[in-house]
């Protein structure tokens, strides 16, 4: 992937048509940028715009079984009547013609010159001359036209093509046991067949012919004569990448296939299958019909109304700008990057801030993201944002009244904010409350942010303040025997870095916590220049084998795999390897980093891949990191996403946390629940029902860090 600043890609996001009915959708058809939607009580027209506008077609009330779009017009079947509707300006519509037919209409199909009304056993043309012909025999279930306008019809087990007024069977041997539901045809005669057991693609037998010998085809190639095919078919199922085998309808558009399935809409875009399910994308997963408009938008019918998946070109920079505007609008309080709880699912205007366990960590990552943005762009707002939030981090130490002990979170007196569960204490200065039992998560975040801000943004007095804050935390750890000691005089639950514990009962945390404390001491030495931090660092290396402890810090199965610990490890690797110059220690640290990254690489995590590349100069994994950033959904609301029922997912029966379903390979960010990089990408079912919105820092940090190191455009 050749990254440039102007490198554009297609990004999908949900669109909400204004005026869309919340009724079961029976059919949908599109021509250019006009879309017609049939429901149980009438026909609707949608016109382009942001958002698109939908209006009921007056005079076309009643249950619509099928519709067909033509340039500026549509035919719609209501019972045994077919209505011709013309679209005027501004969404106005006019019903110009109504025709009674002798059969119920199963499907309306525009052909080269006329529109075919296909019934279970009869095909008729709705335009003049009004002619009808018998169907090919078996009860028909669907119909389609190829790009040249030739008509095809399907029964449950066979497909026919209309040639000079006669039906020719294209599947003399049938299509197998799975009944046909819908068909679509491309310009080369490939017929895409939707069934309840996958998507079958067939080539047709040439009309009226069969090869006379095994050599007939070769002879035709040599002579330039038309090639006679015996027909062929392939069925795509879960192991072939099809996310859902229960396919109800299919549509072809450009290089893509779109289908309506029991799990939502599925698409094959440039050869790669994707699933669009859940409220992130559709009103309901039980999709019934699908059409693609001229602007690339995909219209999916469901029992709860129409869903629209909009396609637009964008860049990573434009995506980062959008996420950052949202973050500033809804996620910043007192300089902290806060959780955003939605009082009404999906309604971001109903948000309330929550002071949570990891305010310090998420704020620290934002400080780093804005520091890198400032280093790349010299944008003064980036510098101001980073400064505001780094001061908020420093405040976390001041409010506890314990030198060098930062709070998890802080709430100002009178502030309208939700408080997460846990231990809250009055602020030392009486200004509010702070949350205790501070974790190693916060300490990792503070040292990471202090290091990046100090090196890229801080000037003069700011450098001294950063050094003082970092030094205070390191000094607290030294005074307390490498323990983070809370207001009760006891170590916090996860603030354990002492040799007695790590080389003793805390064996499971030995590698990670050794890495963390070495990183913190090295950063403190870099920022303050105080030798006592370097001396303590060397003592841990020489007397307690902490450098060696780091080599296998990443725990693998059958041990307890903790994805949050993976994020903490990479945040700790960064200052340690940035500031260490001793080749003997770097040798061990690089072994540790490479091992950890190789284990993490299947996750294609941009943060881990970018940190690894920044520290080693190795560009391995950068293409995967960029692809992940592209596939992060534009909607960061934490909708429920259910992937455990997919046909293409291979379950990992040996892994998983708390017995939840987990996959062998990570699901794309576009298809899984929104999560930070400390989440489990192998988890299949997750989400909060749309009651939270992520702040997007998980995207901003690796993007701007990659830009700073010249790894992405």
Neighbours of 380 (CB within 10 A): 9
Position 90 scores a pLDDT of 66
Average pLDDT (427-456) is 97
Average pLDDT (142-170) is 93
Structure tokens at 317: 């920079």
Domain boundaries, the chain: 27-246, 317-708
In the chain, DSSP finds a helix count (H) and a strand count (E) of 15, 41
As a whole number of angstroms, the distance between CA 153 and CA 140 comes to: 7
Residue 290 has pLDDT above 60, yes or no: yes
As a whole number of angstroms, the distance between CA 306 and CA 38 comes to: 10
CATH class (in words) of the domain with range 27-246: mainly beta
Position 80 scores a pLDDT of 76
Q: Which residues pair with 250 in a beta bridge?
A: 259
Strand arrangement, sheet containing 247-253: 247-253, 256-261, 264-269, 272-276
Strands (E), 320-378: 332-333, 336-337, 339-342, 351-355
Position 128 scores a pLDDT of 73
Structure tokens at 171: 């599947």
Instruction: Assess contact for 5 and 315: CB atoms under 8 A.
Output: yes
* Angle at alpha carbon of residue 572, lines to 321 and 521, rounded to 5°: 125
- Same fold flag, 27-246 and 317-708: no
Query: Which pLDDT tens digit goes with each residue over 52-93?
Result: 889 999 888 899 999 999 998 999 998 778 999 998 876 678
Position 600 scores a pLDDT of 96
Query: Which pLDDT tens digit goes with each residue over 599-648?
Result: 999 999 999 999 999 999 999 999 999 999 999 999 999 999 999 999 99
Position 91 scores a pLDDT of 66
Write down the H helix ranges in 487-605. Answer: 499-502, 510-528, 531-544, 546-549, 563-579, 583-600
Instruction: Assess contact for 492 and 436: CB atoms under 8 A.
Output: yes
CATH class (in words) of the domain with range 317-708: mainly alpha
Query: Which pLDDT tens digit goes with each residue over 375-433?
Result: 999 999 999 999 999 999 999 999 999 999 999 999 999 999 999 999 999 999 999 99
Query: Which pLDDT tens digit goes with each residue over 306-326?
Result: 999 999 999 999 999 999 999
């Amino acid at each position: 992937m050749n990254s440039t600043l102007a490198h554009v890609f297609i990004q999908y996001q949900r669109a909400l048509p204004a005026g869309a009915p919340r009724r079961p959708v029976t059919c949908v058809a599109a021509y250019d940028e006009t879309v017609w939607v049939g429901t149980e009580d009438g026909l609707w027209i949608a016109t382009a715009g942001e958002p698109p506008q939908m209006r009921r077609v007056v005079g076309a009330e009643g249950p619509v079984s099928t519709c067909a779009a033509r340039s500026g017009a549509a035919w719609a079947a209501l019972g045994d009547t077919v209505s011709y509707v013309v679209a005027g300006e501004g969404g106005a519509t006019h019903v110009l013609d109504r025709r009674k037919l002798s059969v119920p209409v199963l499907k309306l199909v525009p052909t080269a010159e006329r529109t075919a009304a296909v019934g279970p056993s009869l095909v008729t043309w709705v335009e003049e001359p009004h002619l009808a012909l018998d169907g090919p025999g078996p009860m028909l279930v669907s119909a389609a036209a190829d790009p040249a306008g030739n008509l095809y019809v399907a029964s449950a087990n066979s497909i026919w093509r209309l040639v000079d007024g006669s039906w020719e069977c294209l599947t003399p041997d049938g299509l197998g046991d799975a009944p046909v539901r819908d068909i679509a045809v491309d310009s080369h005669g490939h017929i895409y067949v939707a069934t309840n057991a996958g998507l079958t693609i067939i080539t047709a037998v040439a009309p009226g012919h069969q090869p006379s010998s095994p050599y007939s085809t070769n002879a035709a190639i040599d002579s330039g004569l038309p090639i006679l095919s015996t027909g062929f078919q392939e069925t795509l199922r879960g192991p072939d990448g099809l996310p859902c085998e229960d396919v109800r309808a299919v549509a072809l558009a450009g290089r893509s296939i779109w289908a309506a399935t029991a799990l939502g809409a599925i698409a094959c875009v440039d050869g790669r299958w994707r699933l669009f399910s859940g409220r992130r994308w559709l009103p309901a997963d039980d999709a019934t019909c699908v059409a693609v408009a001229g602007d690339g938008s995909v219209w999916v019918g469901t029992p709860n109304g129409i869903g629209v998946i909009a396609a637009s070109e964008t860049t990573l920079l434009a995506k980062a700008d959008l996420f950052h505007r949202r973050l500033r609008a809804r996620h910043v309080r007192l300089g902290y990057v806060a959780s955003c709880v939605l009082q009404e699912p999906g309604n971001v205007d109903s948000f309330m801030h929550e002071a949570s366990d990891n305010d310090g960590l998420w704020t620290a990552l934002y400080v780093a993201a804005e520091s890198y943005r400032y280093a790349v762009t010299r944008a003064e707002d980036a510098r101001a944002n980073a400064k505001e939030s780094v001061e908020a981090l420093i405040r976390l130490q001041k409010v506890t009244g314990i030198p060098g002990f930062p709070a998890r979170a802080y709430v100002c007196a009178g502030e309208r904010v939700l408080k997460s569960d846990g231990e809250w204490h009055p602020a030392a200065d009486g200004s509010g409350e702070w949350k205790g039992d501070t974790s190693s998560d916060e300490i990792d975040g503070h040292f990471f942010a202090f290091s990046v801000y100090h090196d890229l943004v801080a000037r003069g007095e700011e450098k001294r303040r950063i050094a003082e804050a970092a030094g205070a935390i390191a000094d607290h750890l030294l005074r307390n025997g490498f323990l983070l000691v809370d207001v009760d005089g006891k170590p916090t639950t996860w603030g354990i870095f002492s040799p007695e514990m790590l080389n003793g009962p805390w064996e499971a945390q030995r590698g990670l916590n050794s890495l963390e404390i070495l990183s913190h001491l090295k950063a403190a030495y870099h920022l303050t220049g105080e030798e006592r931090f370097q001396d303590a660092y060397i003592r841990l290396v020489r007397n307690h084998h902490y450098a060696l402890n780091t080599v296998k810090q990443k725990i693998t199965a059958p041990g307890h795999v903790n994805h949050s610990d993976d994020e903490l490890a990479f945040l700790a690797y960064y200052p340690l390897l940035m500031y260490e110059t001793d080749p003997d220690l770097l040798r061990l640290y690089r072994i540790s980093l490479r091992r950890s990254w190789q284990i993490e690489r299947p996750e294609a995590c941009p943060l881990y891949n970018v940190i690894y590349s920044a520290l080693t100069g190795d560009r391995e994994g950068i293409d995967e990191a960029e692809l992940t950033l592209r596939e992060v959904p534009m909607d960061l609301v934490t909708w429920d996403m259910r992937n455990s029922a997919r046909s293409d997912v291979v379950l990992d029966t040996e892994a998983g946390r708390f017995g939840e379903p987990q996959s062998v390979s990570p699901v794309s960010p576009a298809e899984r629940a929104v999560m930070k990089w400390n989440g489990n990408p192998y988890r299949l079912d997750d989400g909060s029902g749309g009651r939270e919105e992520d702040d997007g820092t998980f995207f901003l940090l690796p993007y701007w860090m990659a830009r700073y190191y010249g790894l992405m455009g």
